[in-house]
């Protein structure tokens, strides 16, 4: 479901008490719904690739397949929402590839403009549009387009799912009248709602949307979610600006000198041992881990724990007098955790933090500023020296130039905060350019002090790294921190 500008949608899990007959009638829609999503996916992508733009709607009237026209409209809107969400993620990946490339600056600026407009497939024979399509081919290789074949959620808008309040019965808070595959034979299912949702509706901060999301589990059960809307909160005008660094040993460190989430890494180490041992046992028995209920439950437990801890800490930070958070790209990997655990925690952490930061911006009015993360954990905030030897230990920072020491994550968060003052947070320049710029600044600083390294006004500069420019026209590369 695509959001209207300035409107925030929230989904709340609800319990349903439908009879088995009604549940079967709704579950019977899923295979046709999935086939419909695959059909409209091809139509949306063809229109997008041909015109370079995503239209507001496509004509589904010629389609049949057992679904009514109203159901086809809902299917089409659902896939459009999936595609819009994917495009938002692709924008960041595209920008990162261009930023880390060695393309000429004017060409980079034109590619950034194309990326901002999501005009990657806009018709054009110039070099920028040709290169944009080439880069998108690489993005789509890494980030697959939404696959509706595995989607088990049906997003039902007001045309086919009407949310009603009971006239006489008081046992259930709402009833949902859902159009099924049988014409003029809708089913009505009772719903009990989340107390948090009722609280927000009662105080007027949210309004119930005439929309229902139904997830069908593998064993045929229905998991419904009701949606609410609220206007986006105006940005905060008062409060501090904080830099945030995140990692594994401390989930978050702030530029004012505090660390949060210190217990997360120890907990994950124990779960990592469980995950490794369970995987080995399943493989020895010839069982695919994905088919093991115990394996799936452990994965779910890890994801939920990371998400809950992330939300708890960010809520704690947001409750303070903060008007802006300066953040970097996410990296929740640790060399001391297994590959499967790193993959799991990285995905869970990225999703949890991205969703929570978005919620803090929309609900709390906190401005979120992103900066280029290159060398933020290796740079001395006092003298500007950058050297990987500055951080030989995970938790300790010791500058090899001026001798400054400190908690490594806090040092990184202060570098992140300082990078806010750079043009666009240096998000549109490559790590090579960052290194060259910082090296130049540190060299000038040493020259002013007679080639002596002295601490002084905090800066985000570097000196000791040697620059080896990449071949002209190269696209790609990994960021160093």
Distance of CA 478 to the CA centre of its chain: 19
User: Is 463 in contact with 385 (CB distance < 8 Å)?
Assistant: yes
> Does the pLDDT value for residue 163 go beyond 60?
yes
Share of the chain residues as helix, strand and coil, in percent rounded to the nearest 5: 45, 15, 40
Confidence of residue 330 (pLDDT cuts 50, 70, 90): low
Share of the chain above pLDDT 70, in %: 88
When pLDDT is averaged across residues 299-317 and rounded to a whole number, the result is 90
> Does the pLDDT value for residue 470 go beyond 70?
no
Q: What angle do CA 70, 73, 78 make, to 5 degrees?
A: 130
What's the confidence (pLDDT) of residue 454?
A: 60
What's the confidence (pLDDT) of residue 160?
A: 93
Q: From the CB of residue 167, how many other CB atoms can be counted at a distance below 10 Å?
A: 6
What's the confidence (pLDDT) of residue 338?
A: 66
Q: How does the average pLDDT of the chain come out, rounded? A: 85
For the stretch 2-33, pLDDT in tens is: 556 678 888 999 998 899 999 999 999 999 99
For the stretch 402-434, pLDDT in tens is: 888 998 889 999 999 999 998 888 888 888 888
> Does the pLDDT value for residue 378 go beyond 50?
yes
CA distance 323 to 306: 25
User: Is 363 in contact with 233 (CB distance < 8 Å)?
Assistant: yes
CA distance 402 to 455: 6
When pLDDT is averaged across residues 276-284 and rounded to a whole number, the result is 91
Distance of CA 41 to the CA centre of its chain: 22
Q: Where are the domains of the chain?
A: 11-18+153-231, 31-146, 240-368, 371-481
Give the lowest-confidence range in 46-50, 189-193, 315-319, 461-465: 461-465
Higher pLDDT, 185 or 452: 185
What's the confidence (pLDDT) of residue 353?
A: 86
What's the confidence (pLDDT) of residue 463?
A: 33
Greatest alpha-carbon span in the chain: 87
Partners of residue 243 on adjacent β-strands: 326
The single-letter DSSP state of residue 363 is I
> Does the pLDDT value for residue 178 go beyond 60?
yes
> Does the pLDDT value for residue 350 go beyond 70?
yes
Higher pLDDT, 453 or 118: 118
Any long-range contacts for 217-220 (C-beta under 8 Å, 24+ apart)? 217/152, 218/152, 220/23, 220/24, 220/27
> Does the pLDDT value for residue 346 go beyond 60?
yes
pTM: 0.74
> Does the pLDDT value for residue 471 go beyond 60?
no
For the stretch 67-124, pLDDT in tens is: 999 999 999 999 999 999 999 889 988 988 998 888 888 999 999 999 999 999 999 8
What's the confidence (pLDDT) of residue 45?
A: 94
> Does the pLDDT value for residue 323 go beyond 60?
yes
What's the confidence (pLDDT) of residue 149?
A: 84
Q: Looking at 120-176, list the stretches that DSSP marks H as alpha helix, in order from N- to C-terminal side.
A: 127-142
What's the confidence (pLDDT) of residue 462?
A: 35
N- to C-terminal Cα separation, the chain: 36
Give the three-state DSSP class for 294: helix
What's the confidence (pLDDT) of residue 222?
A: 92
CA distance 15 to 224: 7
Distance of CA 191 to the CA centre of its chain: 30
Q: In what order do the strands lie in the sheet with 161-164?
A: 15-16, 187-192, 174-178, 161-164
User: Is 37 in contact with 83 (CB distance < 8 Å)?
Assistant: no
> Does the pLDDT value for residue 383 go beyond 90?
no
When pLDDT is averaged across residues 459-467 and rounded to a whole number, the result is 35
Higher pLDDT, 176 or 451: 176
User: Is 434 in contact with 425 (CB distance < 8 Å)?
Assistant: no
Share of the chain above pLDDT 90, in %: 41
> Following CA atoms 363, 364, 370, 373 in sequence, which dihedral angle do they give, to the nearest 10 degrees?
-110
Shortest CA distance to 459 belongs to which of 438, 479, 480? Answer: 438
CA distance 215 to 220: 9
Could you tell me the two tokens for 442? 């540190």
> Does the pLDDT value for residue 333 go beyond 70?
no
User: Is 463 in contact with 386 (CB distance < 8 Å)?
Assistant: yes
> Which residues, 6 or more positions from 401, have their beta carbon under 8 angstroms from its beta carbon?
380, 383, 385, 387, 453, 463, 464
Higher pLDDT, 193 or 240: 240
What's the confidence (pLDDT) of residue 345?
A: 67
């Amino acid at each position: 479901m695509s959001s209207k500008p300035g409107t925030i949608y929230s989904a709340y899990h609800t319990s349903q008490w439908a009879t088995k007959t009604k549940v079967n009638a709704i579950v019977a829609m899923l295979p046709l719904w999935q086939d419909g999503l695959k059909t409209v996916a091809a139509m949306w992508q063809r229109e997008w690739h041909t015109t370079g733009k995503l239209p507001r709607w496509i004509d589904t009237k010629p389609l049949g397949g057992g679904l009514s026209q109203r159901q086809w409209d809902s299917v089409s809107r659902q896939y459009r929402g999936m595609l819009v969400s994917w495009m938002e993620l692709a924008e960041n990946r595209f920008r990162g590839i261009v930023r880390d490339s060695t393309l000429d600056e004017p060409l980079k600026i034109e590619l950034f403009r194309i990326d901002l407009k999501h005009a990657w497939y806009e018709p054009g024979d110039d070099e920028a549009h040709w290169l944009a399509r080439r880069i998108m081919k690489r993005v789509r290789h890494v980030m697959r387009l939404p696959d509706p074949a595995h989607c088990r959620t049906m997003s039902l808008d007001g045309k086919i799912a009407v949310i009603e309040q009971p006239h006489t019965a008081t046992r259930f808070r709402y009833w949902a009248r859902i159009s099924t595959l049988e014409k003029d034979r809708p089913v009505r299912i009772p719903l009990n709602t989340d107390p948090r949702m009722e609280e927000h509706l009662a105080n007027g901060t949210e309004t119930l949307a005439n929309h229902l999301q139904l997830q069908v589990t593998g064993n045929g059960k229905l998991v419904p979610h009701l949606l609410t809307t609220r206007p986006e909160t105006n940005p905060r005008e008062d409060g501090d600006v904080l830099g945030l660094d995140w990692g594994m040993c401390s989930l978050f460190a702030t530029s004012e000198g505090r660390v949060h989430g210190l217990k997360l890494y120890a907990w994950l180490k124990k779960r990592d041992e469980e995950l490794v041992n369970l995987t080995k046992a399943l493989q020895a028995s010839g069982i695919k881990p994905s088919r093991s209920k115990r394996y799936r439950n452990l994965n779910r437990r890890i994801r939920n724990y990371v998400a809950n801890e992330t939300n708890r800490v960010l809520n704690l930070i947001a409750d303070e007098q903060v008007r802006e958070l300066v953040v970097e790209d996410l990296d929740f990997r640790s060399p001391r955790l297994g590959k499967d655990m790193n993959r799991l925690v990285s995905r869970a952490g990225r999703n949890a933090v991205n969703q929570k930061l978005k919620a803090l911006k929309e609900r709390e009015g906190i401005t979120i500023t992103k900066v280029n993360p290159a060398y933020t954990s290796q740079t001395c905030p006092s003298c500007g020296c950058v050297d990987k030897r500055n951080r030989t230990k995970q938790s300790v920072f010791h500058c090899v130039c001026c001798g400054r020491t400190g908690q490594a994550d806090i040092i990184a968060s202060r570098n992140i905060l300082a990078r806010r003052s750079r043009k666009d947070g240096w998000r549109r320049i490559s790590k090579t350019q960052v290194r060259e710029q910082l090296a130049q600044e540190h060299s000038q600083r040493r020259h002013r002090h007679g080639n002596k390294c002295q601490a002084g006004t905090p800066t985000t500069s570097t000196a000791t790294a040697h620059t080896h420019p990449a071949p002209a026209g190269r696209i790609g590369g990994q960021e160093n921190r």
